[in-house]
Amino acid sequence: MTARSIKGKSTNEILEALRQQTQDGFEPTLAIVFISIKMDRAAIAGILHEKGISVIGATSSGEFIDGHQSEGEAAILLLDIPKEDFTILFRETVGQPLGQVVQQAAREAMTKFSNPAYIAMTTCLNEKGELFEGAQFVHTLEESHDGKTDIFGGMAGADGELIPSWVFTENQTSDEGFVLLVLDRNKIDLFGVAISGWKPLGRIRTVTKCEDGWLCTIDDQPALDMYLRYLGESLDQKEEKANLFVENISMFHPFLCLDDVDPVLRTPMFVDKEKNAISMDYPIPEGGTFQFTLPPDFDIVESVFKEAEIMQKGSGIRADALLVFSCLGRLSALGPMATQENEGLHEIWQAPMAGFFTYGEYGKDLAGKNKMHSTTCSWVALKEKPNPGVH
């Protein structure tokens, strides 16, 4: 498998980059597209389709390839995977039970391949302001395979705004649904993990009251007061109205939820000073346990590199392609270290890379379970298996 990454800030730039990458005879069959909502994704998808290239994509909140990071542009990974080794499934979920739609998609994938794996991109917010149920999505998809599959991907972004985000193919698009790149694991190996690197702070806490989506009390104390007091922070009226709470505080101190084998992060998104409550990006139920977290430092990035190096050395391979799904919150909290993180993964795997800053991540945790994550870096390296008939 050959992969090449291209970028551009206009349709014409993408067209020219595509021309340059294919003039030596490279014939991509698949384009994985991460693109700003400001760009004409339909036009770019159409150009790719006209050249016989299948398209799967998501809108982004910043995008990158090896050696370049941007905001408001497009990053594309081109691959020449044999057409018989992948398929793309697009599903809208408007007015339908999400679980049923996911199960149906999994059944279709299993009619195509006996051993499928998934690169998954979902929406985040729809036109009504409703959140896509990412945790249910990834749980249902995994359970449809009795826990024996790989799922990596992310939630579409919208240039950092809380407005609808989109997933698409060459001829379909939706702000409420998902798109799956289904790979034949008998032909293509996947090596990846989702890891946050955030370290716990203090003792284990328990959510003792939730109401209408708000986390109201922690250890029977008002949630907002406890969170701010524990971190030594305060919140003025300006910060509350502008939601600078997220930018200034919560992106740096997500909650480390402990109700599973491997903890996952959840990020406070909104506050209500009258209720003294917090709204999370994905709820923690009453009785759920968590720890606060320390401020980010370079050890967070080092922990990502460590796991990647262990996996790369263990596999003994040089990957054909690399996809990275990094939370927008990492960019906010880590700053330039988030860029170093992405470039470091590229250097470890020595493969053409594309990725984007997401509104949520999908990937395997260190215990091998597929989950929906927050403030996490999920990455996957692809390697075509050798054809036993070719010498």
Q: What is the average pLDDT value for the chain, to the nearest integer?
A: 92
Measured between alpha carbons, how far is residue 117 from residues 154, 183, 236, 303 in Å? Answer: 15, 5, 47, 25
Q: Determine the structural domain holding residue 345 and report its residue range.
A: 3-195+298-384
CA–CA distance, 48 with 8 (Å, rounded to integer): 14
Q: What are phi and psi of 292, to 5 degrees?
A: -70, 170
Instruction: Please give the DSSP secondary-structure letter assigned to residue 178.
Output: E
- Asked whether residue 78 is domain-assigned, the answer is yes
**Same domain as 73, residue 159:** yes
Instruction: Please give the DSSP secondary-structure letter assigned to residue 132.
Output: P
Q: How many CA atoms lie within 13 A of 237 on its CB side?
A: 0
Buried b (16+ CB within 10 A) or exposed e, 70-91: bbebbbbbbbbbeeebbbbbbb
Instruction: Please give the DSSP secondary-structure letter assigned to residue 385.
Output: P
CA–CA distance, 284 with 113 (Å, rounded to integer): 36
- pTM for the predicted model, two decimal places: 0.91
Measured between alpha carbons, how far is residue 89 from residues 105, 112, 280, 335, 389 in Å? Answer: 7, 11, 30, 35, 30
Indicate left, alpha or beta for 185 from its phi (over 0: left) and psi (-120 to 50: alpha): alpha
Query: In this structure, are strands 321-327 and 353-358 parallel, antiparallel, or unpaired?
Result: parallel
pLDDT score recorded for residue 244 = 64
Does the pLDDT of residue 390 top 70, yes or no? no
- Asked whether residue 302 is domain-assigned, the answer is yes
- Asked whether residue 189 is domain-assigned, the answer is yes
Tell me if 34 sits within 8 A of 303, measured CB to CB. Answer: no
Indicate left, alpha or beta for 360 from its phi (over 0: left) and psi (-120 to 50: alpha): left
**Same domain as 272, residue 156:** no
CA–CA distance, 37 with 112 (Å, rounded to integer): 32
Packed helices 298-315 and 336-349: angle between N→C axes, nearest 10 degrees: 10
How many structural domains compose the chain?
2
The DSSP result for 284-349, as a single string, is: --TT-EEEEEPPP-HHHHHHHHHHHHHHHHHHT---SEEEEEEEHHHHHHHTHHHHHHHHHHHHHH
Q: Which domain-ending residue is among 293, 310, 336?
A: 293
- Asked whether residue 391 is domain-assigned, the answer is no
**Same domain as 175, residue 60:** yes
* pLDDT-based confidence at residue 123 (cuts at 50, 70, 90): very high
The DSSP result for 68-101, as a single string, is: EEESSSEEEEEE---GGGEEEEEEE-TTS-HHHH
- Asked whether residue 180 is domain-assigned, the answer is yes
**Same domain as 223, residue 163:** no
Tell me if 45 sits within 8 A of 69, measured CB to CB. Answer: no
- Asked whether residue 389 is domain-assigned, the answer is no
Tell me if 158 sits within 8 A of 72, measured CB to CB. Answer: no
**Quick one: what percent of the chain has pLDDT higher than 90?**
75
Angle, vertex CA 37, rays to CA 34 and CA 39, nearest 5: 85
**Same domain as 308, residue 171:** yes
pLDDT score recorded for residue 295 = 79
Does the pLDDT of residue 391 top 70, yes or no? no
Q: What are phi and psi of 10, to 5 degrees?
A: -155, 165
CA–CA distance, 111 with 77 (Å, rounded to integer): 27
Q: Which domain-ending residue is among 293, 319, 341?
A: 293
**Same domain as 39, residue 174:** yes
pLDDT, average across residues 176-203: 95
pLDDT, average across residues 87-109: 97
**Same domain as 23, residue 142:** yes
Q: How does pLDDT run across 305-343, given as a tens digit for each residue?
A: 999 999 999 998 899 999 999 999 899 889 999 999 999
Length of the chain: 391
**Same domain as 142, residue 47:** yes
Residue 195 makes CB contacts below 8 A (sequence gap 6+) with 303, 304, 307, 365, 366, 376, 377
Does the pLDDT of residue 260 top 70, yes or no? no
**Same domain as 307, residue 215:** no
Tell me if 138 sits within 8 A of 362, measured CB to CB. Answer: yes
**Same domain as 251, residue 167:** no
pLDDT score recorded for residue 235 = 72
151-155 sheet: strands from edge to edge: 86-92, 177-184, 116-122, 151-155, 361-364, 370-373
Does the pLDDT of residue 261 top 60, yes or no? no
**Same domain as 340, residue 320:** yes
